[in-house]
């Protein structure tokens, strides 16, 4: 299954949750933020090379990190040469070779955010527990609906107090999972220690597991 982790606004924690979901489900995490990648990369081919036709998607996957990852390059020239029209084929190649893929989508509403949703079987919309973030989550949800990516769950990320889950569920029409603010989650990508593995019983760890179970139920259905 290809799962898109989307959300209109930048900085709501899409990459972090995609990383955690990859760790929790064993899926390959694809950093599809072609313009502003933020998951760790290293030497070797990356998504820019794949989208420019210089490498195959499967050879760009790194299996040596804490999470199996297809990273993305960070150069402007690479972003310019990348043809987002190749993204669908790349994601399907990864899915064929590894079974599941979690796609970290870029912010915004351009084609680089739309194509992963068009390819994906389902999506998780990440929202921040603030009123202004809800509007972006709604727009992303609409886009996902138009492009036929079913909404598995809404992740209300970095919640400090109890956010109004019911409001999110009613507006977006999918179960909401609150992921409490936890500095370990924020650092997980950097330290390479996903919270769902190093602190599975923490509130954040439990929230991520419940998100992963929702994804799992959806992929079996």
Partner 1 sequence: MEHDCTTESVAGATLVTVRVRNEAPVPRRVRVRNELPGPVLPPRREGVPERGWDESGFEGVLDAGEERALGYACPVASEDDRPVSVASLGRDEAERAADRENEAIRALGRARPPADAVPVPGGSLARDSLPDDAGGAATSDDARRGDEADGTHVDDTHADEDASERSVSEEASDGRDRGPRPPAVASWLDAVETRVRLAERLTDATATDAAAVLETAGDVSGLPSTVDADETTLRTVAARASELADRAAETDAGPTVDSLVAL
Binding site for partner 1 (CB under 8 A): 34-35, 52-53, 76-85, 87-88, 106, 108-115, 117-119, 147-148
Buried b (16+ CB within 10 A) or exposed e, 11-43: ebbbbbbbbbbbbbbebbbbbbbbbebbbbbee
Tell me the closest approach of the beta carbon of residue 101 to partner 1, in angstroms: 15
Measured from the CB atom, the residue of 137 and 177 that comes closer to partner 1 is: 137
Owner of token pair 């202004």: 132
Q: Give the span between the Cα atoms of 25 and 215, in whole angstroms.
A: 9
Tell me the closest approach of the beta carbon of residue 36 to partner 1, in angstroms: 10
Tell me the closest approach of the beta carbon of residue 14 to partner 1, in angstroms: 16
Give the count of beta carbons closer than 10 Å to the beta carbon of residue 76. Answer: 9
Measured from the CB atom, the residue of 87 and 133 that comes closer to partner 1 is: 87
Residue 155 CB-density burial (10 A; 0-12 exposed, 13-18 middle, 19+ buried): buried
Map 73-105 to HEC letters.
Answer: CCCHHHHHHCCHHHHHHHHHHHHHHHCCEEEEC
Measured from the CB atom, the residue of 35 and 164 that comes closer to partner 1 is: 35
- 26 in the Ramachandran plot: left (φ > 0), alpha (ψ -120 to 50) or beta? left
Query: Residue 4's beta-bridge partner residues?
Result: 103, 123
Measured from the CB atom, the residue of 79 and 207 that comes closer to partner 1 is: 79
Do residues 27 and 67 lie in contact, with contact meaning Cβ atoms separated by under 8 Å?
no
Measured from the CB atom, the residue of 139 and 203 that comes closer to partner 1 is: 139
Measured from the CB atom, the residue of 79 and 102 that comes closer to partner 1 is: 79
Tell me the closest approach of the beta carbon of residue 121 to partner 1, in angstroms: 12
Tell me the closest approach of the beta carbon of residue 49 to partner 1, in angstroms: 11
Tell me the closest approach of the beta carbon of residue 32 to partner 1, in angstroms: 11
């Amino acid at each position: 299954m290809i799962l898109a982790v989307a959300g209109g606004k930048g900085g709501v924690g899409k990459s972090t949750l995609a990383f955690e979901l990859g760790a929790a489900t064993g899926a390959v995490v694809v950093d599809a933020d072609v313009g502003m990648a933020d998951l760790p990369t290293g030497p070797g081919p990356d998504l820019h090379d794949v989208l420019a036709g210089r490498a195959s998607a499967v050879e760009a996957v790194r299996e040596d990190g804490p999470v199996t990852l297809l990273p993305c390059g960070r150069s402007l020239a690479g972003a310019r040469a990348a043809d987002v029209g190749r993204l669908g084929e790349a994601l399907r190649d990864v899915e064929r070779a590894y079974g599941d893929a979690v796609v970290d989508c870029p912010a915004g509403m351009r084609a680089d955010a739309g194509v992963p949703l068009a390819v994906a079987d389902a999506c998780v919309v990440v929202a921040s527990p603030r009123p202004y973030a809800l509007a972006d989550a709604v727009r992303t949800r609409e886009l996902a609906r138009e492009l036929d990516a079913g909404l598995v769950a809404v992740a209300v990320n970095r919640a400090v107090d109890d956010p109004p889950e019911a409001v999110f569920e009613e507006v977006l029409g999918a179960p909401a999972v609150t992921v409490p603010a936890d500095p370990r989650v924020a650092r997980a990508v950097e330290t390479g220690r996903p919270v769902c593995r190093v602190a599975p019983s923490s509130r954040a760890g439990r929230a991520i597991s419940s998100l992963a179970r929702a994804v799992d139920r959806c992929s079996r259905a």
